[in-house]
Structure formats: structure tokens, C-alpha cells
Chains A and B, each alone.
Chain A
Amino acid sequence: MSVRTILHIDMNAFFAAVEQQSDPALRDKPVAVIGSGARTIITTCSYEARAFGVKTGMTVYEAKRLCPTLIMVVGNNRKYTDTSTGIINIFRDYTPLVEVFSIDEAFLDVSGCLKIFGSAIRISMLIKACIYQKYGLTCSVGIAPNKLLAKLASDMQKPDGLTIIAPDKISETLEELPIEELCGIGSKTQQKLNMLGITTCGQLGRFPVKTLKKRFGIIGERLQRMGLGLDDTPVIPTTGDETVKTVGHSTTLPSDIDNRDEICRWLLRLAEMVGCRARRYNVAGRTVTLTIRYSDFTTFSSQESCDDSLSQSHEIYRAAVAILDRLKLEQPVRLLGVKLSNLRERDSQYHLFPEVRKYEQLTEAVDTVNDRFGSFSVTYGSSLDRQKNAKVISPAWRPEGLRNIDVE
């Protein structure tokens, strides 16, 4: 197999940097992006804030304690998704092989276009210049023979970095590198590897694969390959028509609730969001999953499979309520989620019963109005008093297709 050239591009403190560009008064200052809800946390923060120890996931109180001069900005998800889409289009000017990893990260396979643009370094410099010129934003680029090492390389120099891990430097780079620096080794895997006496990638690469397989099962071999810096996973272009296995939405409520009617009103809104997205992309699902997080952050899911595939919002809602009614809630609810899975293409069979046909026509009319005038322009009366809550962009967000979730 010929040597590939992969770029990993990571936008630096993306949301905070967009806000600093939008408002010059925020530039060079510690800025944290937060949600609009009363119980929001730090979504991300600028490098100036990070210097004070402020981190993603902290409460506003914790962050303010570390950095009293921290400026809080309520995030604008539509601004970030539009900017991300524009940046991804810049990548596509150089190669069609762009895999969107998250809203602010992507892998590019530039192996086939090096002759056109000269070198991977030149492509990286051109992309960095174009993003800076168009948006005033900086990014860190990692260049390596595979995705694992390209991601590692981009993490090595932030902000505004450009790091190359050449094929002949892989073992040297990995020898003393802590295993947790590798993408895919989380805290639990790290702990298990530490118990085997493995703390560096060099040790991981030399460790007997048999023992790793015994301890980790099927991923044991993959872990050893990671230690050696080997990764042959391809860059899979994000086209929007990839198969999606689930359609789901969740929301953290403005305050903890335990009243069933109140919970049902939120479920109706979530079911409508799920149903609308499923219908827009012509899929229906047989399994509905309800996720509940209690006030103490205990989270669990319960699901129900139906005989028919569902895509109508009221059907999804009824299934979610049926699951809710089977549960005995032990604490007030902090978060609710509704998910549709076991998906297949919606059938266009003509229904025998006129009332079903009428409902489908009604849904179609409502969807048409909402597509024309925006989500929830026409909706259930009982969900009208739901406040628009602070929304988080799902890690599954992609610039097109079923995962192009209409953010608020």
C-alpha cells in the first residue's frame, strides 16, 4: 500500500474565536461561550481564558472563580454551523476526500492532489491563509501518513500550528508519548493499560498482542497497532447520503421537573423534532428510545419496538409516553431525550383507512409550511409555551444530510 498523506485540521477554540472576530472588544480577552439557559456550563473558551485554567464543561461559577475577568458570551449555534460549512467548503477546494469529524475538525486525504498543489505543507498553508482571510480564524494542522497520527500532530501545536509526523519519525515520536495522547484511548482504557504497566505508546507497541487481546478482546490488536502508529482507516468523505442509524434529540430542561404533564409537553416537542427530521429525509423507525437524566446526573434509557415503522410525530410521542408510564421516576428530571432507531426508508403505500390518510396529509401540509417559514411555525398548541432552551450542537452534526440538524 502506498504511503498516504492525511491532514487533520482543528479550528482553534472555534466558538470563542468566532465571537472574538464578531466583536473586536472581545479580542485578546478571556472569553467563554455559554448556553442561554439558567443552568448553562462553559461550552468552550478562548486561549486567554484557558491560561487561567478555565475548561469546557465547568460551571459558570467555577470558571468565574478561576478568572474573575472572564467575559461570558451566549453562543450562537447557527453562526457556528454556517462558519463550519464555509470552512469545510474551503477544504473541498483542495480534495474531495474530506471527512468531517466534528463541527470544528476534519480529516483530508490529499494523497491524490499533491502534484496539483505541490506539497501537503503548501496545501496546509493555503487553507490556513484562506480561512484566516475569510473568517479571521486560525487552525492547527497535522500532517501524517494516517488519521491517527494526523490528529496527534494537530494537537501538538496550538494555536495556529502546523506539525508534520513524517513516516521515518513515527517510532521516535511515539516512543515516550503518553498513551492518553492518542485519539481513541479514553480514561478507562488508559487505566486498564496502566494496570498492565503500559504508560507510553512505545510500551504499547511492544506489548504482546496476545495479552492485549485477552484483556481487551477484539480491540486488543488495534490498540497495539495504535502504539506502533499504524492506522489504515480511510478518510470517508462526508456526502450527506451516508446511512444514519438513528434520529434523536435531547434537551436539558430549564429546571428539574417531576410533573408528568410537564414532562409530556417536553416529549411532544422532542417527538416533533425527531419526526420532522425523519420525514424530511424519508426514513421511519420501529424503535423509540426515551432517555432520562435525573437531577443527580444518573442517566438511563428505555426503549420500545413497534410492529410498524413510525415517522409521524404523534406516534413517536405516544411511544415515548408509553415508555415513560412504565417507569417509576425516582427523582426530578433534568434532561429528556427521544430517539428513533431501527430505521428504514418510509413506504409510500396508500393507506386503507381515510383517517390515517387525512393525518398524513395534515402532517405533510404542516411540514410544507414549516419548511417554508421555519421550524415550529405550525406546531401543537400544547407545546407552544415551551421555552426555547440553550442548545448544544450535537457531535454528530454534519454540514449536509440527515445529520444537518437545524440548530437553535
Chain B
Amino acid sequence: MQQINTQIRVGAIFESGRAIRPVWFDWQRQKYTVTEITYRWQELSGDTKILHFSVSDGKDLFELTFDTDRQSWSLTGIEPGQ
């Protein structure tokens, strides 16, 4: 996976319960629609919870992270589709 690590703008749905579902994001002046969340997991960085989402736009695979402390989204990596 190609590392990107840049903060991005994300549209997400905070669903009932505690689930968060990213639905679109902007990167390099292009809007990507999330067609599938393929995996989600979380980690602690110190005492900050970071949520990880592997998402697909139907073509490429992206890794998005949500820093629950700063309330910020990042694009951490991209795996171009084959």
C-alpha cells in the first residue's frame, strides 16, 4: 500500500450506536464515493483512539483513519486496483 498520510475532508454518517460510516472523501480536488467498507479496526495511540477504515470506491482501496481526539480524518494509504 502506498503511504499518503494527509488530512482530508470526509463525509461520514454517525450511525445509531457507536458506528461511524465514511461515505465520501475529497483528495487532490477529486471526490471519491465509498462503495464498500471492506474492514474496520481501531488502535490506541497513547490514550487516543484511532479508527481505521479500509474502503473502496469500486476501483481502488483506501485506508482512512479518524482521530477521535482531534476529530480529524486522514488518508493514510492507497492501493491502486488491478
A interface, CB within 8 angstroms of B? 18, 21-25, 78-79, 82-83, 135-136, 370-374, 377
Structural contact, A21 and B38, CB atoms closer than 8 A: yes
Given contacts A21-B38, A23-B38, contact A78 B43 (CB under 8 A): yes
Main secondary structure of the interface of B (DSSP, over half): strand
Main secondary structure of the interface of A (DSSP, over half): helix
Interface size class of B (residues with CB under 8 A): 10 to 19
Partner of A373, one of B39, B41, B46: B46
- Assess whether B74 is interfacial by the CB under 8 Å rule: no
Complex interface: chain A residues within 8 A of B46 (CB): 370-374, 377
Complex interface: chain A residues within 8 A of B38 (CB): 21-24
Partner of A79, one of B41, B47, B61, B81: B41
Q: How far is the CB of A310 from chain B (nearest CB, A)?
A: 25
Most buried by B among A25, A370, A372: A25
Complex Cα gap A374–B47 (Å): 7
Q: How far is the CB of B82 from chain A (nearest CB, A)?
A: 6
Which single residue of chain B is at the shortest CB-CB distance from A79?
A: B41
Partner of A22, one of B39, B42, B45: B39
Complex interface: chain A residues within 8 A of B82 (CB): 25
Complex interface: chain B residues within 8 A of A136 (CB): 39
Structural contact, B43 and A372, CB atoms closer than 8 A: no
Which single residue of chain B is at the shortest CB-CB distance from A27?
A: B38
Complex Cα gap A18–B40 (Å): 10
- Assess whether B7 is interfacial by the CB under 8 Å rule: no
Complex interface: chain A residues within 8 A of B81 (CB): 25
